[in-house]
Structure 1
Amino acid sequence: MPVRALEFYSGIGGLHLAFSRSGVDGSVVQAFDWDQTACQVYTANHPSGIIQKVDIASLTAPTLAAFQADLWLLSPACQPYTVLNPNAKGESDPRAKSFLHLIQVVLPELAALGSQPARLLIENVAGFETSTTRHLLLSTLRSLGYTTVELLLTPLQFGIPNSRLRYYLLAKQAPLKFAHVPVNQGIHDLMWRHIPGHSPWIDRRSQQLPSESVRVGATVSEQPGRHVGLYLDEPSDEGTLHLTAIPDKVLEKWGKLFDIVLPSSGRTCCFTRGYTQLVERAGSVLQMNEDLDTAKTFDAFLQAHIFATFDEDSRSGEQSTVW
């Protein structure tokens, strides 16, 4: 029987796309999100009319039971849990309210009706695994007879040139269970860093390959995957490239702090909402010129700047003496 999936916090439809490409026989029958712009983009990506703009905290068990869904896909707000937010409040953050409502109120009520989903997939930011919300989630799922497996995975493990570490939880209701995964033993179960049943992934980004094997600067972990250039659009007009260029004054002041990647690079950093606003920990910037040694360029600039400043200070000192 085809799987019927509900997608919560659907955004622009990323989990919908993943589900459609998974090869599983089924479809997303309804999607929910509160953001109007996200709903519009979702409709453009998945023009099936299934997206509903709604406060997820207002959804009820009878409403969801009517969809007869056997799979939930959830990507709740990450701001309450991200390590980039020094003021993260976890379950006490108002943005966590709707997720806790689904897990602690709606799901048990669906179980009482015999209409709970047989499977769940939950995705969030790395940092969720240490939250009290995660403990509440596991406690509720296990009280309802679900077996769970938790993972911390990065796209680099699957050949995608991005190092965005994410938390995933998969849940199946008994008698369903996971292959290659021990039965739940408690709240502190193993946090998998690779797909169970597959070989562990070794992060070798700091290990240099022999120069005769690959281009200078490549790392072991970059070789099996795809490079950034495969994901770049062809510029429609060479004259418009300046529209996305970083201003020289920004480069002069902060260039040494940027995470600069090339089209041939095998990784990029996680992109956040601070991109174009913050210098560090907001995402990588792209250098199209493969032949330019950025480190040498910045070193030369800084050296010239230091000498110029020293020379200016010297002249100022001489003038002060004269006056």
Structure 2
Amino acid sequence: MEGLRVSEFYSGIGGLHCAFETCGTKGKVLHAFDINTAANEVYKHNFPDTTVHQRNLTSFSIANHNAMPADVWLMSPPCQPYTRQGKQMGSKDMRAQSFIHLVDLLGNLDTPPSYLLMENVFGFEKSDTHEVLVAQLTKLNYTYQEFLLTPDQFGIPNSRLRYFLLAKRAPRALLDIGLRSRQSFQALKNALQFTIAPCDVGVIQTTIPGDGECFPSPQHHNYHYTTKADVGTSDESNTTEGGNPAIDVAEQTAEADDKNKTTIAPAKRSCDSPVVRERDPESWKRQKTGSAQCKALSHFLQSSEELAGDRMAPGFIAEKVVVQKGPVWDIVVPTDTRSCCFTKAYSKYHEGTGSVLQTNTEHSYVSAFEPIMEARRISNENKRAQFEESKASSSHTPAETHTQEQSQSQSQSETEPQTSAQSLVDGKEVPPTESDIGTELQTQSKAKIETTEETAADKSPAVAKGIMSEVPREQIDAVMALGLRFLSPREIARLHCFPDTMTFPKSINRNSAYKLLGNSLNVRVVSRLLTYMFDSQKEQ
């Protein structure tokens, strides 16, 4: 076979495969490995010439590698052990074990791969798994470079900051870009006017050296770059302030104290409060613009004809969902040059899972939602008051509670006839008869039914329908006039730079497609990295 032999680990729906095919290097992806049945089905549908292995990679052995040798390993291991919303267990997380196994296996192979590319979430670079990886690469005479890149650096109006690692095994090596990286970082620092810790200079790149199509991203301004030595006091670092124009809620940020190099995290909201989460109204009024070099979202949206012929095309979002969930959405219009990171929970959960499209641009979503946000604010204040009142009324001492119970019991015994099925005769307890038990059960059942009917009758529309009843009809009509809808799987795939030739088999529905795309990656970003890795040849 002419060209490089490629194995794709954690292959998903084939994002790494698409990236390799477009990077300009001769070769072929021969084998793909993933444990997800739906992902493998999509992969086979689009790449029938590649052998797909559905297996847990903890069982991948030296014999397996020898039977299907590869010059290139492309890897996108599970990100859950390293996400900032997770427990950040790193190598202790069971989902990290297969990747650690592959890293260990590298040291036992007679012919290890010459090239490696690995992708994961921002935060992996601070994990103990990262330490294991770079230690093994150094031991095996690989040179490597690390990157934090996001699609909006390549003209794509989407925020998806990810960690990438490239590695080459001796005698091949990546270019020595120490000086160039320092100059690049200094230029980036001057352009964005923020401080990067000196020890990070030349370690993690925020642009691809020599790539004229890779621009510095304003998104990097929102991150505090630290080394492993700085980590440990701030597991909650990089949490975002709602509505930041340069970053999405899922890619949460923090403010950095440049003087002390510490991270300032926002205060946490009590999780036991019944209050519905609300967005800072001022965040709605901020100008949300993407990078200047990004194309408008309209370049990635389906036409009305395409939507009409797409079985996965979503309709307009239901009225109740718009009113209840709209205030926490990131709403974009076709002329915007930005969108939030799309996760696997898109359309299922509403905050921080991806942007929602406003199709009618004649109206302002800010002015349309402000009355609803005000109604939610009032509702939350009432709920807080009720919650605090409930806590105060239940905070009696045990002695007070016992005294009250005795008083209530005595009062009841003096004023009410005994209704229990257990009766007394001459001071002795007499077992109840079947008739007594039946009568009591009927009484209890009747009381229960009456209480249920009474409760239902007493429920106000606000209790029964929530926020819907608190908003006037004309205000509901105003938000519905925005024409809000979720982006279609095809539109998200385009933002991820998949070609339109990549399709989903009929067995995959829209929600499954959202999950699979949320677990995928940006094809263009990886393609540019592969081009750089294969082109930057340097013999040691």
Q: TM-score, normalised by structure 2?
A: 0.50
Quick one: distance in 2 between partners of 1:249 and 1:305? 14
Aligned to 1:144: 140
Q: Give the 5 Å matches for 1:233-312.
A: 233-235=302-304, 236-237=307-308, 243-302=314-373
Q: 1:191 aligns with which of 201, 204, 216?
A: 204
Quick one: distance in 2 between partners of 1:88 and 1:305? 34
Matched, 1:103 2:79: no
Return closer, same or farther for 1:295/1:57 CA change in 2, 3 Å cut-off: same
Q: CA deviation at 1:242?
A: 9.5
Deviations 1:253-283 (A, max 9, x none): 3322210111221111111122223222111
Q: 2:299 aligns with which of 223, 227, 230?
A: 230
Secondary structure of the equivalent of 2:108? helix
Amino acid at match of 2:66: A
Alignment check: 8 A CA contact 1:83 1:127 kept: yes
Quick one: distance in 2 between partners of 1:75 and 1:291? 42
Matched, 1:46 2:47: yes
Q: CA deviation at 1:29?
A: 1.1
Secondary structure of the equivalent of 1:147? strand
Alignment check: 8 A CA contact 2:289 2:336 kept: no
Alignment check: 8 A CA contact 1:71 1:117 kept: yes
**Structure 1 unmatched ranges of 5 or more:** 208-215, 310-323
Secondary structure of the equivalent of 1:170? strand
Secondary structure of the equivalent of 2:174? coil
Q: CA deviation at 1:24?
A: 0.5
- Which is further off, 24-33 or 188-197? 188-197
- Which is further off, 253-262 or 134-143? 253-262
Aligned to 2:33: 32
- RCO higher in 1 or 2 (8 Å CA, sep ≥ 6)? 2
Amino acid at match of 1:224: Q
Alignment check: 8 A CA contact 2:114 2:168 kept: yes
Return closer, same or farther for 1:169/1:62 CA change in 2, 3 Å cut-off: same
Q: Give the 5 Å matches for 1:44-123.
A: 44-85=45-86, 87-104=87-104, 106-110=105-109, 113=110, 115-123=111-119
Alignment check: 8 A CA contact 2:29 2:50 kept: no
Q: CA deviation at 1:291?
A: 2.0
Quick one: distance in 1 between partners of 2:171 and 2:48? 36
Alignment check: 8 A CA contact 1:129 1:167 kept: yes
Quick one: distance in 2 between partners of 1:299 and 1:63? 60
Aligned to 1:213: none
RMSD: 2.9
Deviations 1:101-125 (A, max 9, x none): 0001x21111xx1x10001000011
**Bigger radius of gyration:** 2
Alignment check: 8 A CA contact 1:12 1:38 kept: yes
Q: TM-score, normalised by structure 1?
A: 0.82
Alignment check: 8 A CA contact 1:180 1:196 kept: no
**Structure 2 unmatched ranges of 5 or more:** 180-198, 220-243, 247-285, 381-540
Secondary structure of the equivalent of 1:244? coil
Matched, 1:132 2:133: no
Deviations 1:157-207 (A, max 9, x none): 001111000000000011212225239xxx976111111234761418969
Matched, 1:203 2:218: yes
Aligned to 1:11: 12
Q: CA deviation at 1:80?
A: 0.8
Q: CA deviation at 1:217?
A: 5.3
Aligned to 1:153: 149
Quick one: distance in 2 between partners of 1:258 and 1:54? 37
Alignment check: 8 A CA contact 1:149 1:181 kept: no
Q: Percent identity?
A: 39
Q: CA deviation at 1:234?
A: 2.8
- Which is further off, 290-299 or 15-24? 290-299
Quick one: distance in 1 between partners of 2:147 and 2:332? 28
Quick one: distance in 2 between partners of 1:265 and 1:259? 12
Return closer, same or farther for 1:49/1:195 CA change in 2, 3 Å cut-off: closer
